[in-house]
A and B are shown apart, each in its own frame.
Chain A
Amino acid sequence: MYLQVEEIRNLIDKNDLIIRPLLDIDSQLGEMTFDFRLGYDFLVSIQGREAYIDTSFNNNESSRVFENFFHKTRRRPGETILLHPNQKVLATSLEYVKIPKDVCLILNTRSSYSRLGLNLSTLVQPGYCGCLSFEFTNTNKVPINLTIGSRIVQGRFAKLASESNYFKNSRKYLCQVRPSLSAITEDKDLQILNSYWKDLNHQV
């Protein structure tokens, strides 16, 4: 069940749902959505020295240094950032959020931006705290210039049947305020799969 405007407002008023900074609730809060703004830190994909990004452990370690494939940059609110065609950028929301334990957040690009070729679709776990992670790709044939602080992503809050403990397991991303690179290499199953591969291929 999606929460509606009064329920969302109620959660904010009771500090059960934290959104900071909340610059303009009247323009950001819709009937059943909340608009999040583009934050000011970015990781922009670049062509590095490595031939590809490796998400396995089977090959040369340097291909798993994801920093080599992204350039860090910042802007100030009101400034802009240009996304070239097919370019990927990791960004965050301007807002830092803390979501109630019995609510999850579904994010999509606002239609004003998805029509221009910017797409995002992701789910935020109940109990999450941090700036929201945005992974944008420009699917248009021309560059898109985005304004920092603009309302770019729309969120729908879905009520769960029961509370979920976000900290039941150890978390990779905790109180993130800037975009983070993938932490996929911390996935333990990759280690297991690598051991199996080594065995299959008689590697030490």
Chain B
Amino acid sequence: MNNKLLQLNFSQLESAWKKSKNNLYSDTKKISYHKNLVDLFNKMKAEDFLGLSEIETVERSRVIDFFFISITFLDGSTVSQIPFEIIKCLEEALTDWVDEHDDFIIVTSLVKGINAFSFDTRLTFGDYYIIIEETYGIKFESKLIQINVPETLTRDYLANVALYHELGHFIDRKYRISEILTKKLIFDFRAGKFHIKFYDYFPFLKGADPQTFVNVLFSHFSEYFCDLFAAQYVGKSLGIYLDYITKGNPNHSNSHPATSVRVDVVSKFINGENDVLMDEILSVVVLASRKELKKRYKEFSSTDFENLIPVEINSASELHYLFVYGWNLWLSDWNEFQKVNEMAFPLSPNQIYEIINNLIEKSIGNYIVKTNWEKYKDVSAS
């Protein structure tokens, strides 16, 4: 890459930065990250690209890539857009699994595509932060966990159960769970310890050496783990949503197991049933992370949504159960709404959809407000 092309790259960044440099954020970690970007930009602008070697030019270009990715996700997390209700739920899950959770910021990017939920690994697991610190002396105290959310679904809490699965990909990469599972399975196969039941979960292995399917195995283990990770928090809702987005696809692909098998695994986990796959994943997770895959939502019994009011949530574990409650209602007899509230007219599906999502949002929002009020009420009194 020559210096002129690097200069072009930087000019593109400069144009994009003109807008993003004035972003306002609602928390100190994002503000601090943004300040680091300001410093980084100023240092790059002051640099003479003409004097750089080929390797340094490529490295600078990678830093510019980092910059673009950062502002893409931070733009979607500004004070005016951030869906802080769902972010709160994900932050609670992160706290369960990562002791140094304060070193991370969950950010979202709003994308086109109705089912375009995904976890972007580039910043969290790349070497960008190291390169920037070594080259410019700028240390980013927090790394971004970047999650893509379909723009049209930011307020769809029934669909947003998928975000727990995406957070699972971060946890998987952090503790290298799928990597360990894949290596272990190949090792066990070679050692003659491969259990025949694994063919139910990895049918492509029949008659084949697992080493030839190492990438597919890795991807499939990853999906199974992320499904279980999400099921800890949202129970069978994840299985329901999987069925919806995959349209019940009975076939596996190179990247994903068959939906019916995934739903079955989730169901077994929720019911406390074990089998070879579950045993394998549970034991490796504990070894790799010193954390446990277990039910982490607390059920509550409520008819508040049917009475058209938000639930009073008392703990983070109850927070996650809101999604299960919402899904149970969506799948139930909607006449209950009409009956309980003496409505002269039945509600349309779209109205039910709005009610459930609005009440989940407000229940989470109220929990956030109340816990912060209690916290700062005592601080101001002292």
Q: Which residues of A contact B (CB under 8 A)?
A: 18, 20-21, 23-24, 40, 72-77, 79, 94, 96, 98, 129, 131, 149, 165, 167-170, 174-178
Contacts and interface: CB of A to CB of B under 8 A. Distances in A.
B256 interface: no
Contact of A21 (B80, B341, B345, B370): B370
Contacts of A72: 80
A98 B312 CA distance: 14
Interface stretch (B11-19, B130-138, B222-230, B358-366): B358-366
Interface residues of B, number: 31
A94 B373 CA distance: 13
B369 A149 contact: yes
A21 B342 contact: no
A20 B79 contact: no
A163 to B, nearest CB: 10
Contacts of A40: 365
Interface of B: 26, 79-82, 84, 307-310, 312, 341-345, 347, 351, 354-355, 358-359, 361-362, 365-366, 369-370, 372-373, 377
Given A76-B84, A165-B344, A167-B341, A175 B369 contact: no
Nearest to A176: B358
Contacts of A94: 369
For B312, B361, B366, the residue with the greatest tally of chain A CB atoms inside 10 Å of its CB is B366
Contacts of B351: 174
Contacts of B308: 98, 129, 174-175
B344 A18 contact: no
Given A76-B84, A169-B344, A177-B358, 19 more contacts: A18-B309, A20-B362, A21-B373, A23-B373, A24-B377, A74-B79, A74-B80, A74-B84, A77-B372, A96-B362, A96-B366, A165-B344, A167-B343, A169-B345, A175-B308, A175-B354, A175-B355, A176-B358, A177-B365
Contacts of B366: 20-21, 96
